[in-house]
Amino acid sequence: MNTTNARTTMTISYQTQGGYVYGTVCTVRREGKKVVKDYGASLGRLIDKDRLVFYTRERGLYVYDPVNDAYLPPPDDVEPPKRKSRLKVPARVVSLTFGDVYLVDQFARSLQFYDVLSNAYADRIDSVKALMSFYILTPLSNRYAGDWLEHSFGRFLFPDARLSSSTTSKVLKYVGEPSRQRQFFADYFAWFKNTFQDSDLGNILIDSTGLPNSIHFSLTAVSNHNGDINNEVRLIYVVQQSTGMPIFCRAIPGNIIDVNTLKRTLLELKANGIDTNYAITDAGYLSEENVHAFYSSGVSFLVRLQPNRKLYKQLIAEHLPSIKTEGKLVKQRERLIRVKKVACCLNEKTTPKGRIVEKGYPAYAYVCVDEQRVALEQLDLIKKVAEGKVDVDNYEKTLAEKGVFVLVSKRSIDPGKVIELYYTRQEIEQVFDLGKNYSGMLPLSIQTEETFRGHMVLTFMATILIKALMKKLSGTHYPIEPTLSNLAAHSCSVYDDYVITSEPNKLARQAYQAAGIEYPVQVFIK
């Protein structure tokens, strides 16, 4: 259970909480006569101590190897923690969960979203609809989809659904077939254009997120993304700028960095009929090759400049001293940001003496200082000076570097609007959050690349509906989580050819009202 060298030992620290045992990576080192413990990553809930099997929502079941600090697939005979068993009810009258699946179904129908699925997945349409609802309404592994359907009104909404533990993998492979994916995206783009007629599909946000897992297939690889090392698949999402709706996704191996994915993503969009006009990306996508791709394809862009780039250092050195007198003060929600707009060149190459040897592309830079960040950092810096951790002579220089960032754009943008435009990137962060917390993106409990691709498409579908429902609820005081949770308590009793719903409590009634869905007292079933 541990590895030892002359001075350090890697082991696992165990803690008991709520009747369960949890593990944490712990490194013990000796400094002279003193023993120092450093606690690292949380391993989650302990399932099998002898075999070091753990469970987390993000990874699912896995084996932790402290010798190599590695995350390995679990033994076949170990199952994840199960839900508490349900009470059995008389055979003639069965009680089922009703409100949550009914709302999702009615909302999907109101958007005509099922029409998007009808061409690509006609052969197993009920199974796809049911599994999509399962992804939205539960955090459980796919192996429990059949049990969920059996105890849900979804069994009548999707009567031809087959979601047993043996058939769910077949459904995922079916959903993930390349030809069916293409048909789905083609129909989705047509639906999007019809639903959001004032929104340009060519104005996009691009970013990626990691999906940690212990599955052995070609997409899983060791990733070092922003200093966070994981064994993962990377998922690239494209989000429409003005609506915040996801419009495309693709998966890549975890060890491929963002900068190498942009050109292929733009080509994939073009192959699916989307000509990108304007792209907003994070700093990880900026490279000489990608700048060339933007200009050669006529795509405008807005991207943050990495601090380690030569151009960043030049812009800061030249324009930061005058930003308080020449910059524009911009309010962005609760923040105040100073912005100075200047002309610049991207991909320009010069000699050490400054002589231009290769002309670059004309662009605009926006040197920015976040005043709130500066204020917070200043207080921390003063404390460090007082404690002797920072030399007083370096105080001014260190403070001048705080809260500074630089944006670059192909087109000219008003300094008063560029910050708001760039911060639309938060829309894609929200989409990732919805995918991971409400759409079944994690944990990955599939075993093959074929089933993963189906899982990816299903989580994409679920995220679309969740995001659309969130937009529907935006004018109310009802976030997604309590809305679905309150409706899960609204049940129904099943008789021979109809169901009778229970009286919804106040919270459930309010949730129905917020979503614009009328709930029935009686529903006839086949």
Tell me how far apart the alpha carbons of residues 482 and 218 are, in angstroms, rounded to a whole number. Answer: 38
Residue 363 clears pLDDT 80, i.e. is over it: yes
Tell me how far apart the alpha carbons of residues 132 and 137 are, in angstroms, rounded to a whole number. Answer: 9
Query: Parallel, antiparallel, or unpaired: how do β-strands 203-212 and 278-281 relate?
Result: parallel
pLDDT for 211 equals 86
Query: Parallel, antiparallel, or unpaired: how do β-strands 228-240 and 94-97 relate?
Result: unpaired
Retrieve residue 273's tokens: 């009929």
Strand pairing partners for 491?
97
**Average pLDDT for the chain:** 87
The answer to whether the CB of 124 falls within 8 A of the CB of 177 is: no
Retrieve residue 170's tokens: 């077949």
Tell me how far apart the alpha carbons of residues 108 and 112 are, in angstroms, rounded to a whole number. Answer: 6
Tell me how far apart the alpha carbons of residues 492 and 152 are, in angstroms, rounded to a whole number. Answer: 9
Query: Parallel, antiparallel, or unpaired: how do β-strands 300-304 and 361-370 relate?
Result: unpaired
Q: Is 519 helix (H, G, I), strand (E, B) or coil?
A: coil
Residue 174 clears pLDDT 70, i.e. is over it: yes
Torsion of CA 173, 175, 178, 182, to 10 degrees: 180
Per-domain residue ranges of the chain: 3-72, 196-431
DSSP state of 304: E
Digit-coded pLDDT (tens) for 457-479:
999 999 999 999 999 988 787 78
pLDDT for 315 equals 95
Digit-coded pLDDT (tens) for 267-315:
999 998 899 999 999 888 998 999 999 999 999 999 999 999 999 999 9
Residue 90 clears pLDDT 70, i.e. is over it: no
pLDDT for 388 equals 86
pLDDT for 319 equals 95
pLDDT for 408 equals 97
Quote the pTM value: 0.77
Per-residue pLDDT, averaged over 198-221, amounts to 84
Tell me how far apart the alpha carbons of residues 4 and 216 are, in angstroms, rounded to a whole number. Answer: 28
Tell me how far apart the alpha carbons of residues 170 and 277 are, in angstroms, rounded to a whole number. Answer: 38
Q: Helices (DSSP H) in 196-239: which residue ranges?
A: none
Q: Helices (DSSP H) in 224-334: which residue ranges?
A: 262-271, 288-297, 310-319, 323-326
Class assignment of domain 196-431? Answer: alpha beta
Tell me how far apart the alpha carbons of residues 189 and 113 are, in angstroms, rounded to a whole number. Answer: 12
pLDDT for 43 equals 87
Retrieve residue 269's tokens: 């969009």
Digit-coded pLDDT (tens) for 401-443:
889 999 999 999 999 999 999 999 999 999 998 888 888 887 6
Q: What one-letter code names the amino acid at 221? A: A
Tell me how far apart the alpha carbons of residues 238 and 92 are, in angstroms, rounded to a whole number. Answer: 49
Tell me how far apart the alpha carbons of residues 382 and 377 are, in angstroms, rounded to a whole number. Answer: 9
Q: How many CB atoms are located within 10 Å of the residue 390 CB?
A: 17
